[in-house]
Chains A and B, each alone.
Chain A
């Protein structure tokens, strides 16, 4: 059974940084691309970033490009999202998600999410 457990969320001031982590289990982590998808309170889903199995292919939403960095450690079965220069509009539940393929397709299975609140 695929298990994705996010951590690292919390309350942070605007302009500060935060690093999210996702611990994966139940599948061969380095066989799949991974993603971060967020959902602001009461809003829809927004794709944030994706990374292929070998990190050769990485993509970001325009809204986070230059501020967020995705990475993965296949030896630790872990996915990360470094979030810098945080803004109020980054407040959301951040989901870690597993792609169905080694490369980015966007078809994903989901974790339960970790909440990030950006506020002074």
Chain B
């Protein structure tokens, strides 16, 4: 049960696009479609932004998109806005009734 690997930080200017990566193994992220992304603002509970690699829950702006290639998933935030500044976490089903999270990426809007 090793954590998924995310870059500790990412940044972009308002209006730009930024992509956050999440790398696992062929036993977890590479094997299953249940890859999710969560946004967490300081002092708040996480919020689901993407599920099943590239699906958005109702109410999540279409500026947020997800993809996966092999053992790496990505979250892209287009048209960056100030309110997008937050911590982002990926997660994946890892088999045998277990789940694994990434270490988190702090997104800064410059």
Contacts and interface: CB of A to CB of B under 8 A. Distances in A.
A85 interface: no
Given A45-B89, A107-B34, A35 B99 contact: yes
Interface residues of A, number: 26
Interface in A33-75: 35, 37, 44-47, 50, 52, 57-62
A108 B50 CA distance: 11
Interface string B71-98: 0000000000000000101011110111
Contacts, number: 68
A35 B36 CA distance: 15
Contacts of A58: 97
A45 B51 contact: no
A44 B89 contact: yes
A105 B1 contact: no
9 contacts: A45-B101, A45-B104, A47-B100, A50-B97, A59-B98, A60-B98, A104-B98, A106-B99, A107-B48
